[in-house]
Structure formats: structure tokens, C-alpha cells
Amino acid sequence: VVTIRSDGKAGDVSANFTGRLSVLSSTKQTASLSISRVIFADDKANGEFTCEVLTLNSERWKRAIQVQVLAPVKITDQVRGDQVVTEGGDLHLFCKVTGRPAPSITWTKVPTGVSTEIKHYGPTWDFTNVSVADSGTYSCVADNKVEDPVRGQAVKVIVFAHVSISATHDEYIVVVGESVTLNCKAKGNPLPSYTWTPCGQDQVCNKNTFVIPQVSKDANYTCEAANEYSNDSKSYRVFIGGSLINVTLFSESESCANGGYDLASLLKRLSEMMNKVFAGTPSYESVYLIDFRCGSVIVDLALKFTIPTKEQAVITILRNAAVVGRLEDFSVRGFNENAVGPTTPSSSLDESSELQNETKAVTIWIIVGAVFGSVAALAAAGILVWWACRKRRLNRKGTEGAAIRGSTNRKSSNERRGNTNIAIELPKPSQSHYMALDDRSRSQAIANTIQNNSPHRAEQISEYTSLNAYTCPWEISREHVMIKQIVGKGAFGQVAKATAVGLQGRPKKALVADKMLK
């Protein structure tokens, strides 16, 4: 590099050190050499410096001097930006650094911005079969003890998993008017958001559960789960149904007046009919009577099943049976449906509405007829009383001979009046006690019938009929009447509270009013 003579003067400097080397001092005992602007070439890795002394006695003395060049850590290149990888894929992270001595490189996972345990050593990190658990923020740290460790730029690793909705219950059978909650459970990374359709204004549509507060019809709902990378959807079906299915059978070819129809015979026939129609349905159990209306024969029934059953499935079975004549001349109307005839299983809305209007009209005429019948009964009673009084006055105005005969006649008349005292139970104007089986009344009707343990089974039909002007006479024989108490007096006679036996359509004794003429 340089030669220092005994007089302290230095010779020529090697070209590699020109401008960087200077002799600080030189005596017979010591010599000092200074190297400025040290470079990596000066490091011991590239060779040793040697101090060689030549004595006056021509002896040589050598000593090796090693120079270690130090340099702080510097990161020259690294992976940058968010790293997005599909679950199950591969991932490569790298961090290039310089420094003397060579730095050590470690990798840490910083999920919350705070360093945690070391996960990997080395300038590169290769992942295979990446899982969602590998998601997080990573950074490299380089250190060679010269200065403080240097941390590289944080790298966010996003392992996305395709959104997938789990296999859950997707079919619900609900009693009309009740609520139901649909469940949609999805997996994915990032966590998916939810959207339900259709969705009402008052419903929460962005949760994994969806509440229908009051089911009124069969409907389909869709749950869509999505994140920024993928999405999935699933359909859910809600059906009106339950263990009791309400149906209405009606026949326009048959007619009846209130109290004038053999219900026992009808429902026995219907029970046998249903047993045949549902012979291929193991869950079918029995049939109950909910209501009966006259005019056209209209029967509201409840079909009982051992498991929850879709109402529309039951209606379809009955409709198909009607098409092939297995319901005879009956047509079928189901929950929230219009009338369906045996030969027109897909009748239009207009036709169904017209049939409903006709049924309502028949009910109205029945009520009107009952009212007029009651008025007619009152008029007949008044005429009879007037006729009896007039005859009595005529008998008093007869001749003496006629009086004698009248005496006999009055005796007979008295006997006759004793045998023909009139017991009248005036029927109240009939009122319709029937209502359409709509969403609420249908459920209430079956609840009242079944839950109160008083269902009218097809084989347990009441034989009672109402006492009105059409079906029962208001005149009865004297021997069938027992006077209990005089309750009033008038110009034509007395009115008594009595009991009667043998009234048509009434069991045992019945309470009646008895008008006794003077």
C-alpha cells in the first residue's frame, strides 16, 4: 500500500488507496496510517493489511491487521401491497437487505399493530395450502447489531374463502297467521353480508335470520350472502299448513233449508269419500265438521293429519279427485282460495268471485226468508185469536133456542177450547252464524272445535234442528202441554209459561208460551 522510510517519509501510495491514505506520524518506534472513505473492499473479507518492519540489522518483522467494515441495515426491496390469495393456494413473501455484517431477517405477524412472536426466519417466506387462519399483517425485521433493527413495510395478507351457505332447513310449514323465522348461515372470508328478498318495509333484511311475523300465504324467499370476492344464495319455501287442513266442499246440484237436511247421512258419505281419496296418504287420520250452510249445500271440514302437511298439497289431491269424479258432485275450496269446480281445476279469479257472490246472495235470502217467516207466524197467531173472539161474540147473540143449543155448543166449545189451547214458541228471526273461512276465522274455528275437545266427527252429528216457521208447526195438542205459571193477562185471555213434549225437531221437553183464551 505504502512504504515508510526510516526518516519518516512515505513513498508512493498504491493506486487503490490514492487520495484515501495518509501517514499520521512516523518515528523510529511507531508509524500511524489513516484510511479515509472506507469502502467494502477494505473489509477483511477481501484480505488483510500487513505491517512489515525492516530493521537496521536487515531483520523483517510482520504483523497482520484485519479491518472490518461495518454498515447499517438497509432494506432494498420487499413484497409490497395487499396480498390476496384464495384459500388453499400458495403465497410468496420476500425481504432484501444489505448491511455489514450481514443482517439476520425474521418475520412477524402483527394482527393488531403490535409485534408478536417470530413466525419465520430468512429473507423469503413461502406459504403452501394457505388457510383463512393465515390472514393477517406481516412484516420483516432485519438486524446486524450495528444500529437498531429495521422493520420493513407491513404487508396485509387476505385469504378469501368463497362464500358458502350451509345446508340448513329450507322448507317451513306454518299455520296461517303464525310467525316463522328463517335461518341462513354462511361461511366465507371476509365475513359475508346478508340480503333477503322479498322484504317488507317493517322487516329486517340484512341479518342471517329473517322473521315473517304473520304468514298469510305460500311464498318463496331468497337469502343472498356475499363479500367483495364471491357470493352464494339459497331459496327458502314457506307453506300454509299444519296438522289440521281446512277445506270447504259445496254442491250447487243439492239444496236444503235450515234444519231440513240429513247431516248425519251427508257427513257419513263425506267421511267415506275422504278415506278413499286419501287412501294413499299414510298421514291422513280423520275429518271433522266445522260448519254447515244451506241454500246450496256448503260444508266446512277440517282434515286431520298425523304430521304437518301442506294445505296446497291437500287441495291438489282433492282437486284431482274432483276432476275424476271421486268427490261426486262436490266442488272444493281451500284456504285462501276461490271455488274450484270438479271439471275446472284451474278456474279463473272472476269465476271464483262470481261463485262467492252467489253463495253470499243465497245466505242473504235465507236470512230474509226467515224474517218474513217469523212475521207470518205472528200474523197467523193474531188472526186466530181474532177469529176465536168473534166466534164467541156471535154465540152470545143467538136466540133462546139457539142459546139452549148454544149452551150445549158452549160446553162443547169449552171442551174444544180446553183441548185446543195454543202453545206458541215464536221463532226468532234467523240470523246467519256463518262466515267465510278467511285467514283468521278459519284458524279460530278449528281451534275452537278441536282444542275444546268438542269436534263434530263425521260419525257424531247432532240430530237437532231449529224450530222455525218452515220446519215445525206451532199448534200442538192440549195433552202435550203442561201449564207452569201465569205470566200475563190481556183483553183476549191469559199468557202462561208452559212446557211441551213432542215438538218436531226438539228433544224431550221444550219451554213454550201458552195463550189461554177467555
**With bands split at pLDDT 50, 70 and 90, how would you rate the model's confidence at 358?**
very low
**With bands split at pLDDT 50, 70 and 90, how would you rate the model's confidence at 383?**
confident
Query: Regarding predicted confidence, which is higher, 509 or 225?
Result: 225
CATH 3.30.70.2190 fits 72-162, yes or no: no
Task: Identify the top-confidence range among 27-36, 231-240, 458-467.
Answer: 231-240
pLDDT at 217 over 60: yes
pLDDT at 187: 92
Query: Regarding predicted confidence, which is higher, 265 or 430?
Result: 265
pLDDT at 47: 76
pLDDT at 5: 65
User: Which of the following CATH numbers is that of domain 164-240: 2.70.180.20, 2.60.40.10, 2.40.40.20, 3.40.718.10?
Assistant: 2.60.40.10
Per the prediction, the chain carries an average pLDDT of 74
Over residues 133-162, the mean pLDDT reads 90
In angstroms, the Cα distances linking 45 to 58, 66, 70 are 32, 9, 12
**With bands split at pLDDT 50, 70 and 90, how would you rate the model's confidence at 60?**
confident
Alpha helix positions (H), 278-399? 311-323, 349-396
**With bands split at pLDDT 50, 70 and 90, how would you rate the model's confidence at 69?**
confident
Vertex 318: Cα angle to 317 and 322 (nearest 5): 120
Query: Regarding predicted confidence, which is higher, 397 or 253?
Result: 253
Give the domain ranges of the chain: 15-65, 72-162, 164-240, 242-333, 478-517
pLDDT at 355 over 50: no
**With bands split at pLDDT 50, 70 and 90, how would you rate the model's confidence at 184?**
very high
Closest CA to 230 of 147, 161, 306: 161
Strand partners, 21: 35
pLDDT at 434 over 50: no
User: Which of 166-175, 182-191, 453-462 is least confident?
Assistant: 453-462
Separation between Cα atoms, residue 194 and residue 419, nearest integer Å: 86
pLDDT for 290-348, tens place per residue? 888 887 788 899 999 999 999 999 999 999 999 998 988 888 876 455 433 333 333 33
Separation between Cα atoms, residue 278 and residue 305, nearest integer Å: 10
Contact 457, 288 (CB under 8 A): yes
pLDDT at 451 over 50: no
pLDDT at 272: 92
**Burial zone of 63 (CB within 10 Å; 0-12 exposed, 13-18 middle, 19+ buried):** exposed
Query: Regarding predicted confidence, which is higher, 448 or 459?
Result: 448
pLDDT at 436: 38
Alpha helix positions (H), 397-438? 400-419
Share of the chain above pLDDT 90, in %: 31
Domain 72-162 and domain 164-240, same fold? Reply is yes
Please enumerate, by residue number, every residue annotated as part of a binding site for ATP.
Answer: 509
Contact 276, 326 (CB under 8 A): yes
Concatenated DSSP letters of 214-261: S--S-EEEEEEEE-SS-EEEEEEEEEEEEEEEEEEEEEEEEEE-TT-S
pLDDT for 456-515, tens place per residue? 444 333 333 333 333 344 566 666 777 777 878 776 678 888 888 766 555 567 777 877
Task: Identify the top-confidence range among 143-152, 257-266, 382-391.
Answer: 143-152
Would residue 358 be called left, alpha or beta, if left means φ above 0 and alpha means ψ between -120 and 50 degrees?
Answer: alpha
**With bands split at pLDDT 50, 70 and 90, how would you rate the model's confidence at 275?**
very high
pLDDT at 473: 46
In angstroms, the Cα distances linking 189 to 81, 222, 500 are 19, 21, 85
pLDDT at 31 over 90: no
**With bands split at pLDDT 50, 70 and 90, how would you rate the model's confidence at 372?**
low
Strand partners, 109: 138
Task: Identify the top-confidence range among 103-117, 355-369, 370-384, 409-423.
Answer: 103-117
**With bands split at pLDDT 50, 70 and 90, how would you rate the model's confidence at 9?**
low
Fold type of domain 242-333: Alpha-Beta Plaits (3.30.70)
**With bands split at pLDDT 50, 70 and 90, how would you rate the model's confidence at 440?**
very low
pLDDT at 180: 95
Vertex 58: Cα angle to 53 and 60 (nearest 5): 35
**With bands split at pLDDT 50, 70 and 90, how would you rate the model's confidence at 42?**
confident
Over residues 236-246, the mean pLDDT reads 94
Query: Regarding predicted confidence, which is higher, 117 or 399?
Result: 117
Is this structure's pTM higher than 0.85? Answer: no
Over residues 47-74, the mean pLDDT reads 81
Closest CA to 224 of 200, 241, 205: 205
pLDDT at 401 over 80: no
Q: Which three cell numbers stand for residue 161?
A: 374463502
Please enumerate, by residue number, every residue annotated as part of a binding site.
Answer: 509
State whether the Cα torsion 462-467-471-475 is positive or negative. Answer: positive
β-strands 83-86, 219-226 pairing = unpaired
**With bands split at pLDDT 50, 70 and 90, how would you rate the model's confidence at 260?**
low
Strand partners, 63: 51
Over residues 63-76, the mean pLDDT reads 86
pLDDT at 181: 95
**With bands split at pLDDT 50, 70 and 90, how would you rate the model's confidence at 7?**
low
pLDDT at 350 over 60: no
pLDDT at 369: 54
Over residues 95-120, the mean pLDDT reads 82
Q: Which three cell numbers stand for residue 275?
A: 278415506
Query: Regarding predicted confidence, which is higher, 455 or 93?
Result: 93
